[in-house]
Amino acid sequence: MLFNRPILGYLDAMAELADKGEMTFRGIPVSAGAAGVVHGRILVMDGARPSITKRQLAEPEVSEEINRLGRALVETRQQLLEVQRKVSAGMGAEEGGIFDAHLLVLEDRTLLDEVVRMITEQKVNAEHAFHSVAERYAATLAAIEDDYLRERAADMRDVTTRVLNNLLGVQQEMDLRHLKEACILISHDLTPSNTAQLDKGHVLGFATDIGSKTSHTAIMARSLRIPAVVGLEDVSGRLESGQHALLDGINGVLVINPTDKTLSEYRELIRKQVILQEKLRDTQLKPAITLDGHRVFLSANIEQPADAEQVKANGAEGVGLFRTEYLFIGSERPPDEEQQYRAYREVAAALKPLPVVIRTLDLGGDKFLAHMPASREMNPFLGWRAIRFCLQRTDIFREQLRAILRASAEGNVKMMYPMISGLDELNQANALVEKYKEELRREGVPFDEHLEIGAMIETPSAALVSDSLAKRLKFFSIGTNDLIQYALAVDRMNEKIAHLYEPTHPAILQLIKITVEAAHNHRIWVSVCGEMAGDPVLAPLLLGLGVDELSVAAPLVPPVKFIIRRLKLTEARDLAEFALKCESATEILTRCQELARSIAPSLFEAK
């Protein structure tokens, strides 16, 4: 979805309104590639909390005040259940599951006991007591250097506002389902409940002060494919509803009152994007084949069952990476075997006979269950993550492995383990799979006896022992996102050292080469599913290094296919040969850019 309105005509009209003082805000593009530029008037959501005053109670008022709090909690619970029901019906159980975290705040005995104690002992009104205690909890969570816990603080504040509104008899948050005019929402934060209720017919896009790419709000925006920019710092406090704006979800920019010059720049960018999108649409359903006849397997990465729809629509030939942890992190309790089975079966059946590679749980690092806080580990990315977690929590792993095995009876399912760092882990995981296969056989439950199992190669140690691993597996999938951070010792989340995060570093290319050679020596295939595969500048290098498959975010399938269809494998091999001899990451990158720009210039003009 690049432009969902006739933006060119609109920009002409806007030119008259221009020069009222252009303001440009730069933030984080949430859905880059999936969503583009939208325009419209902004609607600034007043995220202000109801104003709370402190009132001293007389002794006889205390018990009624506690009853009043009880009624507000019941009312809030009913409202949340209703929102959850609607969201689950409209968007799926996973999105609905996000409200489990909100409902749990209402059941938090420590918090509620403290509120009741404050009302009783200090004889203060329920609003003041609830607000003081909940805000203290939220502030503590928000202060912790961890995206996940900060999101929990947002959940806590979201629920608190609802409870306070109910205590005060104030109408609940702005009802976004009844917007009259299409607009761009501007807000300090957009809660999951707000985001889930967005009506795409009326909400062109949104921009928020805070947020990260991994927040629930961002996950929702991606699912809904709504253009969004987050992390704009204090933007909501500086704008007024009714102002005209351009929201650029590709580059992460919000322009208020754009000048003639900006409008004409955007007009040009939009014109090029429209042409590019048409070209990409033309190639979309054609095979990913190079000019000299080499067939590349191009598949998509998905995060949730609903994404399966986008796989074929974007011209992918299956799912190369299903990140199953998103079924887990949206809720307080891990989904059970049956829930997971239904989710995996849904994807496998929808895409049959195309392959679906289900990755076993990759919790840890930056993805946590609510009861598994990051703060307990000094280095969560080097800690209790992925296969390490699963091999210790075999209760959770068992349910997942059984669910995947059962789903394998319904489609072309393959399975892979994340973050394997050596042979022992692989052997242990394989032994568990055998054990659960035996259980299913005894129970007479069908599964694919020949289910192919692979491993992600995302630690340098796995690449270096890939020969041993390859003997015991059917495929490899190179996770460059992690391989780069582990090999170069560069935290992939840290923007301060982002310049050191170099996919073309000679060390990375050597690790990929070793992995590809080990795979091919043992006649197994090798894929790359990290972000590097979805970059049209770098995809030729990977193909030149001998990679058989690229698995990329669904919206990136068309541009990657576009470049593959303009590339000769011989050129890619020459590039790889040069790169493997070259000592400089920058020089390698420059060569990659030169090749990509020379064979597909239009891909690079529309930014």
* Spatial separation of the C-alpha atoms in residues 396 and 384, rounded to whole Å: 14
**Residue 395, number of CB atoms within 10 A of its CB:** 8
Q: Determine the interface stretch with Mg ion among 142-150, 293-301, 446-454, 457-465 (rule: CB under 5 A).
A: 457-465
x/- track of binding to Mg ion for residues 547-586 (CB under 5 A): ----------------------------------------
Q: Kindly state whether residue 479 participates in binding Mg ion, applying the rule CB under 5 A.
A: yes
Collect all residues with Cβ–Cβ distance below 8 Å to 587 and sequence separation of at least 6. Answer: none
Q: Kindly state whether residue 399 participates in binding Mg ion, applying the rule CB under 5 A.
A: no
SS3 184: strand
Give whichever of 346 and 482 is closer to ligand PEP, judged by the CB atom. Answer: 482
* Spatial separation of the C-alpha atoms in residues 607 and 603, rounded to whole Å: 9
Could you please report the per-residue DSSP string of 466-496?
Answer: HHHHHHT-SEEEE-HHHHHHHHHT--TT-GG
Q: Which of 128, 390, 505, 529 is catalytic?
A: 529
* Spatial separation of the C-alpha atoms in residues 475 and 192, rounded to whole Å: 37
Q: Which residues partner with 289 through β-bridges?
A: 295
Q: Which residues partner with 477 through β-bridges?
A: 456, 527
Q: 75 near 56, Cβ under 8 Å? A: no
Partner from Mg ion, ligand PEP, none binding residue 105, C-beta < 5-8 Å depending on class: none
Least Å from the CB of residue 180 to Mg ion: 44
Partner from ligand PEP, Mg ion, none binding residue 480, C-beta < 5-8 Å depending on class: ligand PEP
Least Å from the CB of residue 501 to Mg ion: 14
* Spatial separation of the C-alpha atoms in residues 33 and 1, rounded to whole Å: 9
Give whichever of 95 and 366 is closer to ligand PEP, judged by the CB atom. Answer: 366
131 is catalytic: no
Interior/surface letters 450-477, b for 16+ CB within 10 angstroms, e for the rest: ebbbbbbbbbbebbbbbeebbeebbbbb
Least Å from the CB of residue 483 to ligand PEP: 7
Give whichever of 133 and 455 is closer to ligand PEP, judged by the CB atom. Answer: 455
Collect all residues with Cβ–Cβ distance below 8 Å to 342 and sequence separation of at least 6. Answer: none
Partner from Mg ion, ligand PEP, none binding residue 323, C-beta < 5-8 Å depending on class: ligand PEP
**Sign, CA torsion 470/476/481/484:** positive
592 is catalytic: no
Residues present in the chain in total:
607
What's phi and psi for 3, nearest 5 deg? -135, 115
In the complex, the residues that contact ligand PEP under the rule CB under 6 A are 321, 323, 362, 458, 479-482, 529-530
* Spatial separation of the C-alpha atoms in residues 32 and 414, rounded to whole Å: 29
* Spatial separation of the C-alpha atoms in residues 187 and 595, rounded to whole Å: 42
Q: 221 near 206, Cβ under 8 Å? A: yes
Q: Kindly state whether residue 94 participates in binding Mg ion, applying the rule CB under 5 A.
A: no
Give the pairing type, strands 253-256 and 23-26: antiparallel
Q: Determine the interface stretch with Mg ion among 110-118, 366-374, 402-410, 451-459 (rule: CB under 5 A).
A: 451-459
Q: Kindly state whether residue 365 participates in binding Mg ion, applying the rule CB under 5 A.
A: no
Which amino acid, one-letter code, is at 400? Q
Give whichever of 184 and 550 is closer to ligand PEP, judged by the CB atom. Answer: 550
Least Å from the CB of residue 528 to ligand PEP: 8
Least Å from the CB of residue 422 to ligand PEP: 17
Give whichever of 92 and 383 is closer to Mg ion, judged by the CB atom. Answer: 383
Give whichever of 127 and 531 is closer to ligand PEP, judged by the CB atom. Answer: 531
Could you please report the per-residue DSSP string of 416-429?
Answer: EESS--SHHHHHHH
Q: Kindly state whether residue 482 participates in binding Mg ion, applying the rule CB under 5 A.
A: yes
Least Å from the CB of residue 530 to ligand PEP: 3
Which residue is associated with the tokens 């816990």? 149
| Beta strand residue intervals within 132-221, DSSP E | 183-187, 203-208
Q: Determine the interface stretch with Mg ion among 285-293, 441-449, 455-463, 533-541 (rule: CB under 5 A).
A: 455-463
Least Å from the CB of residue 299 to Mg ion: 16
Least Å from the CB of residue 87 to ligand PEP: 25
Give whichever of 11 and 484 is closer to ligand PEP, judged by the CB atom. Answer: 484
* Spatial separation of the C-alpha atoms in residues 589 and 582, rounded to whole Å: 11
Structure token pair of residue 436? 């659960």
Q: Which of 102, 128, 216, 505 is catalytic?
A: 216
Give whichever of 114 and 362 is closer to ligand PEP, judged by the CB atom. Answer: 362
Helix axes of 126-143 and 147-168: crossing angle, nearest 10 degrees: 170
What's phi and psi for 604, nearest 5 deg? -105, 0
Least Å from the CB of residue 484 to Mg ion: 10
Give whichever of 222 and 323 is closer to ligand PEP, judged by the CB atom. Answer: 323
Q: Which residues bind Mg ion (CB under 5 A)?
A: 458, 479, 482
Residues with catalytic function: 216, 529
